[in-house]
Amino acid sequence: MTPVPLILDMDFGIDDSMALLYLVGSGRAEIVAVGTVHGNTSAVQAARNARQLLHVMRLGTVPVARGEAGPWNQDVHYAAEVHGNDGVGGMASIDEPPGTIAEESAAEQIVRLARERPGELVLLATGPLSNVGRAFELEPHLDTLLRAIVVMGGAVAVPGNMTPHAEANIRHDPEAAERVFCAARNLILVPLDITMSCRITDVEMRRINGAPSSPSTDLVRAMLPQYLDFNARDLGVVGFPLHDPTAAVLALDPLAADYLEAAVQVEVEGTLTRGMTCVDRRPAPVASARPTVRIAMQPRRSLVEEFVRTAFEHPAGAG
């Protein structure tokens, strides 16, 4: 199978790291470049986290570009309570990881690569959409230059996770997200509706803990206690939902989910609902001038099983 060439745009937290572990473990992804963004941690720390993980995967030559340091229209906020102060549960290396930082910004990198390889690349965004929105400002036809844009974010028919109505990636930069939903004609959205149903339980945790050792699996496994602690406190359950890894699975195989097709509008005004992803789900929705988004609502097979096997138990090619 020909590998899917991917640009990753991530706020390199714990589940972003799991997503990269899955992608490399699949042997079906070509990681063309990485961009980082504020969100789980700062864009600078996210770039360190990316380089650290890429290095142990022997992918240290993959270019890493720093992106937007904060949201377009609100103060920056890092999810330290979820991912730890360094974004990776205390596992960030003290020394500067090997590998260089690109001179261009993450948005410039997206646009340059999309122009160099028109129609080929999939952009997988698992953080706030500040860089992707900026890339659309630089290249309004960005969507036509990319094979697909896959975004982890939003909550359509389920509650939010950062606020009662908003999911974290969208709530961290509602204006940028709104810019993307207005422009992108080839967007696959992977909201909480599907990611909350793809959950690692104590059964899978035992499998993950018993899986073979390698530099990359060991590094990501060591991040998990922070994520487990947060989810136990927050959701009162053993385990955690697979947010970014689910988006990674769908970036390689969009046929692995059932979709709702609808326009998405982000609430940017509401005091209670800022960052909410609004979708008209009535039987006869009002026609919208906005692009239709393919919204993943449920998996068609066990993506949890696929993730555990591919990322931890039988990875191909990871270091």
Q: How many residues sit close enough to ligand BDR to count as binding (CB under 6 A)? A: 14
Quick one: 40 or 226, whose CB is closer to ligand BDR? 40
Among residues 16, 68, 143, 173, which is the contact residue for Ca ion, using CB under 5 A? 16
167 makes contact, choosing from ligand BDR, Ca ion, none, with CB < 5 to 8 Å by partner type, with ligand BDR
Quick one: 142 or 170, whose CB is closer to ligand BDR? 170
Among residues 71, 89, 97, 127, which is the contact residue for Ca ion, using CB under 5 A? 127
Among residues 7, 8, 16, 219, which is the contact residue for ligand BDR, using CB under 6 A? 16
> Which positions from 117 through 136 interact with ligand BDR, judged by CB under 6 A?
126
- For residue 167, give every residue at least 6 positions away whose Cβ sits within 8 Å of its Cβ, in sequence order, or none: 153, 154, 155, 160, 161, 191, 192, 275, 277
Q: Is 15 assigned a catalytic role?
A: no
> Which positions from 235 through 254 interact with Ca ion, judged by CB under 5 A?
244
Least distance to ligand BDR, CB of residue 28, Å: 21
Least distance to Ca ion, CB of residue 96, Å: 23
Stretch that binds ligand BDR, among 92-100, 108-116, 163-171, 300-308 (CB under 6 A): 163-171
Stretch that binds ligand BDR, among 9-17, 97-105, 180-188, 229-237 (CB under 6 A): 9-17
Tell me: does residue 9 bind Ca ion (CB under 5 A): no
Annotated catalytic residue within 55, 83, 165, 243 = 243
Q: Give the gyration radius of the chain's Cα atoms.
A: 18
Quick one: 167 or 204, whose CB is closer to ligand BDR? 167
Among residues 4, 111, 121, 152, which is the contact residue for ligand BDR, using CB under 6 A? 152
Stretch that binds ligand BDR, among 56-64, 111-119, 141-149, 164-172 (CB under 6 A): 164-172
Tell me: does residue 126 bind Ca ion (CB under 5 A): yes
Annotated catalytic residue within 9, 11, 16, 143 = 11
Among residues 13, 25, 63, 174, which is the contact residue for ligand BDR, using CB under 6 A? 13
Write the DSSP assignment of the chain as a string of letters: -PPEEEEEEE---HHHHHHHHHHHHHT-EEEEEEEE-SSSS-HHHHHHHHHHHHHHTT-TTS-EEE--SS-SSS-----HHHH-TTSSTT---SSPPSSPBPSS-HHHHHHHHHHHSTTTPEEEE-S-THHHHHHHHH-TTHHHHSSEEEEE---SSS--SSSSS--HHHHT-HHHHHHHHHH-SSEEEE-HHHHTTSEE-HHHHHHHHHSPP-HHHHHHHHHHHHHHHHHHHHHSSSSEE-HHHHHHHHHH-GGGEEEEEE--EE--S-TTTTT-EE---SSSPPP-SSPPEEEEEEESS-HHHHHIIIIIIS-SS--
Quick one: 83 or 134, whose CB is closer to Ca ion? 83
Stretch that binds ligand BDR, among 92-100, 167-175, 298-306, 309-317 (CB under 6 A): 167-175
Q: Residue 140 to residues 72, 184, 206: CA-CA distances in angstroms?
A: 18, 9, 47
Residues annotated as catalytic are 11, 243
